[in-house]
Chain A
Amino acid sequence: EAGVAQSPRYKIIEKRQSVAFWCNPISGHATLYWYQQILGQGPKLLIQFQNNGVVDDSQLPKDRFSAERLKGVDSTLKIQPAKLEDSAVYLCASSLLRGPYEQYFGPGTRLTVT
């Protein structure tokens, strides 16, 4: 079974530029999550999708971050414009259903904003 795929693995941009991350969850997984993991901290949930609908985006900085999950499969997370404090690893995870089920994580995208 293929795991959660993310691209790119690394990205370096200057502040005020825009960037987009892509995630392909495990086939058949209805729930998709985007987390932000700042160095030395635990992951923080940014947004949760159930199929192509948003379940929770309460911690997403909506003035600069946006995310979509078209057709309930792949998802993209965008930052525009980026700030220095956005430097982090962005993790995508998926689970079969919404609920207290195991989340399967991708390898993450390490973003550096200079």
Chain B
Amino acid sequence: AQTVTQSQPEMSVQEAETVTLSCTYDTSESNYYLFWYKQPPSRQMILVIRQEAYKQQNATENRFSVNFQKAAKSFSLKISDSQLGDTAMYFCAFSDNAGNMLTFGGGTRLMVKP
């Protein structure tokens, strides 16, 4: 069974600065998918970014980028130029090659301070 671990329960960052959220996972599979989802205080979860394990290039979506280290089984999320609207819970998630069953980490609560 896959496990996903987020070791930072809470983090804070000043507006306009950069912050990195950590995620590690455990799997015996060679191909899989990793995701970062954002859950604002209103609770509607939305996808931030997705990484396919067979792609060596790190995914990027505007201010959001990942550092995917397959050998280390690490998948961190970097948020550049943090905005107040980035305040939310962030969940790292794993999906097998068939895309079945998202396994979520415990989440990191990010507070962006003005």
Contact = CB atoms under 8 A, between A and B. Distances in A.
Interface of A: prevailing SS = loop
A103 B102 contact: yes
Contacts of B4: 42
Contacts of A105: 44-46
A100 B107 CA distance: 20
Interface stretch (B11-19, B68-76, B77-85, B92-100): B92-100
A45 interface: yes
A1 interface: no
Contact of A100 (B42, B91, B99, B106): B99
B107 A42 contact: yes
Contacts of B43: 89, 107-108
Contact-residue size bin, chain B (C-beta under 8 Å from the other chain) = 20 to 34
A103 B42 contact: no
A83 interface: no
A70 interface: no
Nearest to B32: A100
Interface in B1-58: 4, 33, 42-47, 50, 52
A99 B98 CA distance: 5
A48 B100 CA distance: 9
Contacts of A99: 98-99
Contact of A43 (B50, B52, B91, B99): B91
A101 B99 contact: yes
A111 interface: no
7 contacts: A3-B44, A43-B91, A48-B100, A98-B100, A101-B99, A105-B45, A106-B44
User: Which 4 A-B pairs have CB atoms at the shortest separation, nearest pair first?
Assistant: A42-B104, A99-B99, A100-B99, A105-B45
Given A93-B45, A98-B98, A100-B95, 6 more contacts: A42-B4, A42-B104, A43-B91, A44-B104, A91-B45, A102-B47
